[in-house]
Amino acid sequence: PRVSPDGRRCVFTVKTVDAEKNRYLSHLWMADLLRGEVRPFTSGEVSDATPRWSPDGTRLAFVRTDLREKRSQIWLIRSDGGEAWPLTRLEEGSIGGLVWSPDGTRLAFTFRPLHPDWTQEARKRREEKGQSNPPRVITRLFYRLDGVGFLDLRQHIWMCDVRSGQAWQVTDGDYDDSSPVWSPDGRWLAFVSNRSDDPEEKPYEVDIWLVASDLPQYPVSSFHKVPTPVGSKGNLSWSPDGRWIAYMGIEGKEDPWVPRNARLWVVDPQTQQVRCLTEDLDRYVGNVTLSDMREAFAGGGLPLWGPDGDRLFFTVSDRGNCHLYQVFLPEGAPRALTQGEMDLYAFDADRRASMLVLALSRPSQPGELFLWREGELQPLTDLNREWREEVDLSEPEEVWFESFDGTKVQGWLLKPPDFDPNRQYPLLLYIHGGPHAQYGNTFFHEFHFHAARGYVVMYGNPRGSTGYEEAFAAAIRGQWGEVDYKDVMAAADYAASLPYVDARRMAVAGGSYGGYLTNWIVGHTDRFRCAVTDRSVVNLQSMAGTSDFPFHPDGYWEGNFWDRPERLWAQSPLRFAAQVRTPLLIIHSEGDLRCPIGQAEEWFAALRRLKKEVVFVRYP
């Protein structure tokens, strides 16, 4: 959600399913915050995203992807309605990070152009001539990204003149740049980039850089670096008084996969003073809750400044929830502003920060907008009401149980809507992916679907999950299949002890890392009647070099995948294929770049050779 400068309206995006064409549509909607009225604002066979108000509130800029042409551009629309019009004429590529200049004359954004060999026009010419596709020449370690594809060209900061639509590249070099933000006086652009001498070997050297917004010639490749502690950074937000730049970051030189709780920081670009505002809050700043109703790791929104630059609003993931927090500068303690079961995944405020608009979900409520005033939440939208009135949903029960060593583990039980305590039900135990993420108090369609079919669904956060102390997540570093496996088995023991669970009909399922642990489980116990492993990992040695993020030697895992693979192989479920006794369904997509299709192929081939009961469902 984005609140207008005058605090009277809020624009937001609504995603719907086009079942006939098997795709999603996304449009802008507008809410009148004074009258509570909500209406659609854009339409068509498009995906509209990232709406941003002009400083004077008269226009909205947003990124539109035409689903017929499959091209994205920046568009403008008057905030009082009418037809939208395209502003830019960029080549094919991906656009993000849209932000207006304070005077409303320019827009800064990130842009990664598509390589000329792979544009729609180039593909069409080859097809007409009967030519084959050209090879890709790879020279970088990180050349593709799951959910995005090949990263043939670099992502840089661009600018666009709002009157003419003319766009130009601001940054240059063999680096990727992100998170642009203007200084309040419009003189500077800050952004994030790893411009070290070896970004592949030093992924932790991410810095904040400044570039003058009025240079006579672009692009430029030399900038002013803002000194900050070594470590990953992102989500920049400049204070209204121009003194501070806030960011979310992790201090240290460890492998980026090592679980650390991101914290909220501020830096003064002039004095170079740096301060961590959540040093004593051992929780993850941002949203790490998983849901099948939105993108994973949505981030929870940028840190938001109060009007005087003396306080920040931000989100914190905590024991299955994501809440809104506030901290005052210079030495205030972070304080939660929301309570109860919720998954807050985006927010914005009026200029006085007297009213905030929150996008949040709850276990039996898909995402909606709420108004927050003086600690009170008031519903603003109810777009899913018609669907909710057609279905019967149950509320999950939160449970805590002890693992083998006395560690308390959090979980939830979702019962069938027509639950009868005098009956016994089959149980489906879910394991989340990540592994450094959390299940929690958000709407999860898949869970409700299975509960409606008569299953008790159990899901939880074994060690390795975030949303708790760093030590809880770090307990499985380089040791998957150890305490995490025992925590999941403790969950199974707890479920089997319940009078309404049929312990003879328990199944286990998971995706990504959850699929890994499912594979590990069936190689170590036969207590489950069946198992489902989705987009999983089975051979850490082969995954280490074929994933979109090749493993760093002696980083998260001890050793490497070429001449010291012992630890990777020791923790690989494939090693225990001969011990599998549980019927297994393997589900995998050929387009998965994080957990490549080869993982499923190896697992299926081994189990078939061993004459195990296995079915492989392969999505193109």
Report the candidate in 158, 157, 29 with the shortest Cα–Cα distance to residue 89.
Answer: 158
In this prediction, residue 296 has a pLDDT band, given cuts at 50, 70 and 90, of confident
Q: Which residue in 438, 520, 512, 434 sits closest to 477, CA to CA? A: 434
Using an 8 Å Cβ cutoff, are 63 and 95 in contact? Answer: yes
Residue 599: its H or E element: helix 597-609
Which run of H or E residues covers position 450? helix 445-452
Q: Cis link prior to 330 (omega < 30° from 0)?
A: yes
pLDDT for the residue numbered 217: 87
| DSSP letter (8 states) at residue 171 | B
Instruction: Tell me the two tokens of residue 551.
Output: 């493993």
Band of pLDDT at residue 20, cut at 50, 70 and 90: very high
pTM exceeding 0.75: yes
Tell me the pairing of strands 584-589 and 614-619: parallel
pLDDT attached to residue 297: 73
Is the pLDDT at 298 greater than 80? The verdict is no
Calpha distance 265→228 (Å, rounded): 10
Q: Which residues pair with 158 in a beta bridge?
A: 109, 169
* pLDDT tens digits along 173-188: 999 999 999 999 999 9
16 CB-side CA count, 13 A: 14
Dump pLDDT digits (tens) for 479-493: 999 999 999 999 999
SS3 at position 305: strand
- Whether 558 contacts 552, CB under 8 Å: no
Half-sphere exposure at residue 473, Cβ-oriented, CA atoms within 13 angstroms: 24
CA-based nearest residue to 413, from 467, 453, 452, 460: 460
Structure tokens, 40: 């659609």
pLDDT score at 216:
85
Alpha helices in 4-156 (DSSP H): 120-129
Look up residue 409 and give its amino acid: V
- When pLDDT is averaged across residues 222-227 and rounded to a whole number, the result is 92
Q: What is the full DSSP assignment across 392-415?
A: -----EEEEEE-TTS-EEEEEEE-
Span 5-9, mean pLDDT? 96
* Cα 532 to Cα 225: distance, rounded to the nearest angstrom: 49
Amino acid (one-letter) located at 530: C
Residue 401 in this model has a pLDDT that exceeds 90: yes
CATH of domain 391-619: 3.40.50.1820
Q: What is the pLDDT of residue 11?
A: 98
Tell me what pLDDT residue 521 has.
Answer: 98
Neighbours of 252 (CB within 10 A): 14
Top CATH class, 95-112+153-276: mainly beta
Strand ranges inside 114-223, DSSP E: 144-145, 149-150, 156-161, 167-169, 177-182, 188-193, 207-212
Task: Report how far residue 191's alpha carbon sits from residue 177's, in angstroms, rounded to the nearest whole number.
Answer: 7
Q: Which tokens go with 138? A: 């790879």
| Beta-carbon contacts of residue 241 (< 8 Å; ≥ 6 apart) | 184, 308, 309
Give residue 130's pLDDT. Answer: 97
| Domain edges within the chain | 1-87, 95-112+153-276, 115-150, 391-619
pLDDT surpassing 80 at residue 245: yes
Q: Which residues of 223-246 are buried (b: 16+ CB within 10 A; e: fewer)?
A: beebebebbbbbbbbbbeebbbbb
CA distance 350 to 146: 36
pLDDT interval class at 233 (50, 70, 90): very high
pLDDT at 394 over 90: yes
Task: Give the C-alpha distances (Å, rounded to integers) separating 142 from 111, 149, 551, 552.
Answer: 18, 11, 11, 12
Residue type at position 504: R
Could you check whether the bond before residue 219 is cis, i.e. omega within 30 degrees of 0? yes
Are 266 and 277 in contact by the 8 Å Cβ rule? The answer is yes
pLDDT in the model for residue 604: 98
Angle between helical axes of 513-522 and 483-496 (0-180°, round to 10): 70
Model pLDDT, residue 476: 98
pLDDT band at 330 (very low <50, low <70, confident <90, very high): confident
Average pLDDT rounded to a whole number, residues 581-589: 98
331 pLDDT band, cuts 50/70/90, is confident
Largest CA distance in the chain: 78
Question: How much is the pLDDT for 478?
Answer: 95
CA distance 106 to 22: 37
pLDDT on residue 447: 98
pLDDT at 301: 81
* The pLDDT of residue 264 is above 90: yes
